Amino acid sequence: MRKRIKAADLPEFDGAHYLDSETSIAAYLTDILEANDAALLASALGDIARARGMTEIAKTAGITREALYKALRPDSAPRFDTVSRVCAALGVRLVAQAVHPATDGVEV
């Protein structure tokens, strides 16, 4: 007979362990941005910052470590300036992309 495991007894999932390359970080952020949720973006940036080292990211972004934790918690809505500074410190940039590709004047 197998022993049952209660969900409450499982450790909390931490995605930071899987953000070990530029490619995985870019893919993660791309998926998060598609959700169009500021709190989710803040949380994802927090995951990436933890993977890279929160203290170093805070220092590079010019934000205190405590303020960075507060700004990137899952229920936050950080200012664009904060998101921009954290992205720069992480070495990533947010890119705008057309939702509907242009047809170059060709009617469809």
Closest CA to 51 of 18, 5, 22, 16: 16
Give me the pLDDT at residue 70, please: 94
> Residue 76 corresponds to which tokens in the numbers above?
């936050």
CB-CB contact of 69 with 54 (8 Å): yes
Angle, helices 80-90/38-52, rounded to nearest 10 degrees: 30
Residue with tokens 């242009």: 102
pLDDT, tens only, 16-37? 888 988 889 889 999 999 998 8
pTM: 0.77
- Mean pLDDT for 84-104 is 84
How far is it, in rounded angstroms, from Cα 82 to Cα 68?
Answer: 9
